[in-house]
Each structure stands twice: as structure tokens, then as C-alpha cells.
Amino acid sequence: MFSEGSHLPPPVHYWQDHRGLGSPLAVISRHVRKHSLPLPDRAVAELAARTGLLESTVRRAAEYYRSMAAREDHPPLMVCQGTACRLAGSGKLRESLEKRKLSCHGVACLGYCDAAPALLDERDAAYTGDAASEFDEHRGFSQSILGHPLPRMESLSATPLILPRLLQGGAATLKEALSMGVYEGLRSALQQPGQVMLDLMTASGLSGSQGRVAPRWHTCAATDAVDRYVIGHAHAGTSGAVVDRLLLERDPHSVLEGLALAARAVGASHGILFIPADYPQALQQTEAAIREATAANLLGRNILRSHWSFQVSLFPGAARCAGGEATTLIDAIETLRGQARPQPPAPEVAGLHRLPTLVEPLETLVQLGTLAKDGSEAWTAQGTAECPGTRVFCLNQGFAQPGLVEVPHGHNLRDLIENWAGGGAMGSPLEALILGGLGGSLLGPGEWDFPLCPSRMTASGLRLGNGSLVAIAQTADLRDVLSHFLEYMDGESCGKCTPCRLGPAGIVSLAARYERLARVDRKPRDATRARRDLETLFHTMELGSLCSFGQDLPGPMRRFIDLFWDRIFTKTS
């Protein structure tokens, strides 16, 4: 077996930037969006020549992007089917568009939750709110919201750590980024060994939705291996992608700097940004940012004339990969399949191409520049003892004042809802909240009094998830929300493990049985039995699923059914 320091050339993987032309997969995904599948041989050959990939790989990649492929050379409309948009009627919208013979590709969260519903037309222009609901393919452009206005954004912390640049309007170009101090952290980190960055991380106690991040970094750095990877991924979950979208569109350099710093800390030589292919704008901005940064020697070979090299590749992800499950992302990059992998080994030990791999959300990455530049005080000075630092919450259009808000960990949820967001839209009281996406926590109105601290929440069986907050109003179509739960799980399950793959279908057939029982005059015994069967199914999904996606989703779903049982099943009868 070959050992460390051998003279073997590192293998070149298909997803890497070939011939310095940028992401080969971005080229293919864009092509597929405009052309129907299967691609004719000539197109495959051309793409192969352009990207440097084998023809068979081009074919496989094209298949991977099938869901967004053009139909009869017409790019489909991308209609957001995230929770926020669903509640704002995007399910009906999609149906009516399809009735008008417009082909639609349903996407879980385009990142406009504050202005739901949202859709992208065939030229990838965004339409939100009424413009989306009244979308008219003939009026087209004029009506769209190119340069969509920024959502309401605020920080309840004196020293915001995630949003500082966005709060100032963003820094899309390298020039703007430099003027805001981006890359200074990297510059100073390059003067010191990577261990310093690792120590800073430990000292800061920086926390994600699972609690502190540093222990994983230590494992990754300590694992014996020839090389390592870091993956930054945008978007996990059914709603609340606003912050990811904005960071990529308006603060991409902080993301890149963070990726480099994480790599520096654990000793990785390659970073990958996993960005959903249906964020066309974000994809373009990030690509441009990588080009600019590489040209300025802030990425690539011998960064800033140091001995350290670090390369970033862009991976446009076709499917949502089980809500961003780390092993699923890794599998998508490696095999273009995107299926969860058993753990152990954890990705930090053996991830992408069996090398130690760090998978971090963008929100973590954008904090690293400041950490490297200014040290860890800003973290330790706010948040809770268990989880220092801050967190961004994204409140959807169901609140009176939707938007993005950065708060120190430990902030009370009720305060956020009632004071910052002003309660339900148009003053109507809320039935429930979904915190952190469908796999997060479903909270009835009496359950809002707790501190938003990941560690404390985990202890009491709650999940912070991706930090999105979706309001369920009294007027909400609860049956549609239940179908949304099921469609989401079925549509995002990687399909590998039986409980998660077939569970939603099982629930659908049980629910149908209920409905029959509810309509035909009920024999209470049958209803009890059906309900017990449903519970067995939830139980099997929760306990039996391979990855956290399948394990987490049944909880909120069961809670939802428990809360609204009668209203879901008696209305129609």
C-alpha cells in the first residue's frame, strides 16, 4: 500500500475543476436545464470536450440532473414547494400552472420564504408573492423581480457574527469584500500553523444546530490520512434557505474564506461547495467569486505566496439529499447517486473518497473569517455556556413582520415571535410553529417558552434544525400540510433504507383507511387499530431509518397528526 509522502500523483476526480474552466458539473447542469434528455450523442461529445470528462460521465451527470431537465427543450418553471410557499398556496399554484400546460419542477425552498410563494421562470428570473401567484408566462420579464429586494434583516446581538456584511448590503464582488475585511482572517491564518485555527475554534465554542463544532474538527484533523476534504453545503430542509441564498449571492467571499480556514485548520487540500443546482443566481455568483479569488491568489496554488495550496470546486447538487445529510452529500459527489451511508465511520474519519471530510453549513463557514481575524471573544461573550455565539432565524411570510434575525443562542422563542415578528400575519393567532424545517420541532402555542440553545433543546427532545420558523395560521389548509409532510419525505428520501423509502407511502394508505373509517360510520375498535398501526409505522421509521433524515421526520409529523387529528379527518366527511 502506498504511504504518506509517496510520489503518486493525486487522483483527479471527475467533479474537480477541469482545465481551469470551472465546475464541469455546472456546465452540464445548465445544459440539461435548457435541453431535453436523453442528450443526443453529439451534445454529449461536445460537453465531454468542453468539460474534459469522459462521455460516459457526461451521460451519468446529465441523468443526475434529470428532474430539472427541459421538456421538449423548454426549461420547466421551478415552483417552490417549501413549507412557507406551500402554506402560501404554492401547491394550488403549481396545479394551476400545470393545467395551463406549463411544465413545473417542484423545489423544496428557493429561499424566498419571507415573500412566499416563489417561482423561477425559464430564464431563472425570480417571482415572489403576488407576482408568483399571478404568474403570466406571456407578460414575462417586466413583472419579475430581478434584483429581488433584500428581506427585512436585523441583529439582536450587538456583534453579529453571521450577518454583518449582509446587514450592510452585502459584498458580492471581491473589491467590496476586501473593503469589508474579508480575507484578512485568511491572511493572518497563513502566517501561523493550522493548529492555531483549530485552537481558536475550540476556544470560541462556535456552535451549529448539533451543538459545538470543534470536536468534529479535532477528529478530522487527528485521523491519519494522506489528504482531507471540506465540504460547505447550502440549504438543508424544507424552508428557510433565505440565509443560504443571500450568503451565496451577496457574501460569497466570506463563504470561500471560511472554507479555506476550515481546510487550514484540519489540513485539507480541497474544498467543495455543494449548492443546489436550482439556485441559479447563487451558483453564478459563487462561480464568479471563485474565479476572482483564484485570480487574486486567495485560492489555488501557494495562496498569497505561502506554501499552502487550496482548491475549491463547485458541485451543483440535483436532489436535496435527505435534507442535507452529510453522508448523502458525500455520496452524491462521489457517485452522483446521493444515498446515505452507514456510520460509523463518521465523515470526519472516512468520508469523501474514504478520506476524512468535514461537512459544514454556510452559516458556520462565514463566521470563520472574523474568528481568525479578531479572536474568539465575540463568541464567548454571547450565547449560552453550552453554545456560545449566535444563530440566524428565518421567519416566513406567515408572521406579521417576516425576515431574518440574528440572535445570541439562548434567546427566548416567544419573545422572538411576539415581539420581533409581531405574531401572526394580519393579527390572526397562530395554531402552531414549525421550527427548523419539517424534521425539526412542531410546537403548539403553549410550547414557545424556551431558550433557543441547541444543546438545551436537544436535552429536552427538541430540535433547532436549520433555524427556520414557519407560522401555521388558523386558516391554514391542514390537510395540505399533512400531504406536504408526506410528499416532502417521499420526495427527498434518498431511497436507500426501507422505512424512509416506503414509510410515507405506508402512511398514505393508512390515512386513506382512516378516512374511510371516519366517513363510513366508525367502529371505534377499527379506528383504534388503524391508529395503532400508524403508530407502529412512525415507530419503525424513527427507530429503523439509516440516517437522521428518516429518523427525525416522523416526530413532528406524529405531533402534527396528534394535534390536528379531528380537523384533518372530519372536515371533508
Partner 1 sequence: MPAVDHTPLPSLALINGRELTVSPGETILQAARRLGIDIPTLCHHDRLSPEGGCRMCVVKCAGHPRPLAACHTPLEPGMEILTHHREVERIRKTLLTLQLTTAGESGLEPGVIREGRFTELLVSHGFSLPRRTPPPVKTDTSHPYLRWQPSACVSCRLCLNTCEQIAGHFVFGMEKLGAASRLTIDGKAGFNGGACSSCGACVDVCPTGAISDRDREKPRNRRETNPAPPVETVCGYCGTGCRMIVHTDKRGDVGHIDGVPNAAVNHGDLCVKGRFAHGWHHAFDRLRRPMLRSGAAFSAVPWDQATALVASRFQEIAAASGPDSIAALVSGRTSNEAAYLMQKFMRGVIGTNNIDSCSRLCHSASELALSWMLGSGSASACFDDIELAGCLLVFGTNPTESHPILGARLKQAALHGVPLIVVDPRRTDLSDFATLHLPVKPGTNVSLINILCRLVLEAYGETTAAQVGAPGLEFEAWRDFALSLPVPEASAITGVQERDLRLAARIIADSAPLLTLYGAGVTQHVRGTAGVIALANLALLTRGLGQPGGGLLPLRGQNNVQGVSDMGAMPDHFTGYQPIRSADTGTRVAETLGFNLPGKAGLTVTELPDAILAGNVRALWVMGENPLRSLPDTAKTRRAFEKLEFLVVQETILTETGKLAHILLPAAAGFEIEGTFTNAERRIQRVRPAVEAPGEARPDWIIISQVARACGAHWHYLGPEDVMREVGRATPETHGGVSYQRLEQSPDGLQWPCPDPAHPGTKRLHSGGFAPGKGRFVPIDYEPSPDHHRQDYPILLITGRALEHHNSGGMTLRTPNQDLPTAQGLALHPHDAARLLLVDGDEATVESAQGSLRVRVRISNRQLPGTAFLSIHDGSRPANRLVSALPDPDSMTPQYKAVAIKISR
Closer residue to partner 1, CB minimum distance, 509 or 572: 509
Using CB under 8 A as the binding rule, whether residue 6 contacts partner 1 is answered as yes
How far, in Å, CA of 129 to CA of 84, rounded? 11
- Strand order of the β-sheet with 311-317 is 311-317, 270-276, 229-233, 357-361
Closer residue to partner 1, CB minimum distance, 344 or 446: 344
- Taking CB under 8 A as the binding criterion, the range among 12-20, 276-284, 341-349, 475-483 that sits at the site for partner 1 is 341-349
Among 140, 193, 215, 342, indicate the residue that binds partner 1 (CB under 8 A).
342
How far, in Å, CA of 415 to CA of 399, rounded? 13
Using CB under 8 A as the binding rule, whether residue 186 contacts partner 1 is answered as no
- Taking CB under 8 A as the binding criterion, the range among 139-147, 271-279, 403-411, 493-501 that sits at the site for partner 1 is 493-501
Using CB under 8 A as the binding rule, whether residue 319 contacts partner 1 is answered as yes
Among 86, 270, 341, 463, indicate the residue that binds partner 1 (CB under 8 A).
341
Q: Pick from 74, 73, 20, 75: which is nearest to 50 by CA?
A: 20
Amino acid at 567: R
Q: Could you tell me how many residues of this chain bind partner 1 (CB under 8 A)?
A: 51
What part of residues 500-559 is at the interface with partner 1 (CB under 8 A)?
Answer: 500-506, 509, 536-537, 539-540, 542-546, 551
How far, in Å, CA of 7 to CA of 572, rounded? 70
Closer residue to partner 1, CB minimum distance, 244 or 492: 492
3-class state of residue 133 by DSSP: helix
What part of residues 48-77 is at the interface with partner 1 (CB under 8 A)?
Answer: 54, 56, 59-60, 63, 66
3-class state of residue 124 by DSSP: coil
Note the helical H segments in 336-395.
362-365, 368-374, 377-380
Give the shortest CB-561-to-partner 1 separation in angstroms.
18
Using CB under 8 A as the binding rule, whether residue 158 contacts partner 1 is answered as no
How far, in Å, CA of 531 to CA of 108, rounded? 29
Among 89, 498, 531, 565, indicate the residue that binds partner 1 (CB under 8 A).
498
Give the shortest CB-263-to-partner 1 separation in angstroms.
22
How far, in Å, CA of 4 to CA of 425, rounded? 60
Give the shortest CB-354-to-partner 1 separation in angstroms.
8
3-class state of residue 512 by DSSP: helix
Closer residue to partner 1, CB minimum distance, 405 or 541: 541
How far, in Å, CA of 494 to CA of 160, rounded? 36
Element at 30 (helix H, strand E): helix 24-34
- Strand order of the β-sheet with 153-155 is 153-155, 403-408, 390-395, 468-473, 430-435, 441-443
The binding site for partner 1 (CB under 8 A) comprises 1-2, 6-9, 11, 38, 54, 56, 59-60, 63, 66, 319, 336-337, 339-342, 344, 489-506, 509, 536-537, 539-540, 542-546, 551
